[in-house]
Structure 1
Amino acid sequence: MHLRLPFLRFPLFAACLAVAAPVAAQPLAEPPAELSPPLALEPFVATYEAHYQGKPAGSATMQLVRDGDARWRIDLTLHGERGIAGLARLNVQQATVFDTVDGGYRPLSQATVRKALLFGRQITGVYDWSAMQARWDGDLKKQRRQPLPLQHGDMSALLINLAIMRDAQPGATLHYRMVDLGRARAHVYQAATEPETMAVGDMSYDALRVARTADDGDQTVLWVASGVPTPIRILQRKEGEDEIDLRLVEYRGA
């Protein structure tokens, strides 16, 4: 028994030598490759397939157009053509007029129109930067029609989509404040460290996933690809299930 002790302890001894031995230097992991620099604002029109709870529901169009010499307008229009949205004849139109200040997108006015078979809703908002407040009128609760203090950098929901296209880089954390429809909320998006391959028609893109999780657990996810002025896909998830899903079909310069 005594003679076997050295043999029984040899594995432990060898392990100690391995720890004590010099370790060959390992190359540092390369940082994630950055996306190409964002393109300057240029007019575009993008067409999407719209899905609701995993089923085809209709189509959507997002477009960016010039609105005079120093202003722009971004629009999102959804048409319910199938399923529940089709039966309800649902149509939603959103628009934000904005200008650019120090590279940022500054909203000037906002409009939302929702039409369906049995109801309609229309809301307009104005961002008064001289008074540093915004105000909405129309089919809103009374408390949401009260003046809302503005902070520099505030954006509408549509402008945040544009800002993500501008700012997204692998591993980046993006901070915005959304002021829209009489409410102000902080939005934090996290970009994935690596892009993933996504198909659009007959083409494939390396798209970066950028996601936000709200306090109630609902998620908004966008996929961004270099050289494409609009998200490849926009997904809203509720209670862990896909709810509204816009998938890019094509885009072109306006």
Structure 2
Amino acid sequence: MTENRGPLWTRPAAAKPERLTRETVVAAAVALADREGLEAVSVRRLATELSARPMSLYTFFERKDDLVDLMIDHVLGEMLVPELPVGDWRAALRAVLHRQIAVGRQHLWVMGVFGTRAPIGPNAARHAEQSHQAIAGLQLGAERSIKLLRAVDTYLWGYVTLNGQELVARQRDGLSEQEWQASTEAYFAELTAGGDLLNLAAAGRSALLRGTVEEWTADFDEGLNWLLDGFERTLDES
């Protein structure tokens, strides 16, 4: 290290360490989970990432479960749509769902924990508000609005959980999307070559293995349309 020479008053002042805030701690935890998975997040590891003392982090949360809740709420903030489509409740709702999918793909760890938590933080509340805003024009009343959104969420999280599992598997194997497609296509062809899986062979690779991002999105939208078409037929019963 180069020694500072000259009188104290002529030397540059040492840089002060950045003051930690809850936001910087949570953002660092999210970034670590994105890189290495949620299991890599610990108070000690996070303190190392932030060049801080482990005990100093406990001013922001009491235990790791609290930290995970904060991380989920952070991600839910990213899932807010900047501007909802106006005048078309289905387009508005689809925008909310597509945003969740896009952000979920950036934070694969959240797909594995979201359904096991009770997200009720401030961003969770804003996200719920936005979902209700998307369908407000239907004037369904509180009970039916909640039931519709819960049905849609159940469909969404089933989709992203399956999608996320495949993405995690692909990352674990160190394969690009093109390499994953090629290797699994070869596996499917070999699996069905014996002739004892006739229905699976007829249905094709997608019956067992997921497709490209574009295929996934198209499949999601088609299933969502089926769900919403069925719901729309009940509107006259209101």
TM-score range, shorter chain: under 0.3
Higher strand share: 1
Q: Which has the higher Rg, Structure 1 or Structure 2?
A: 1
Greater fraction of residues in helix: 2
Q: TM-score, normalised by structure 2?
A: 0.24
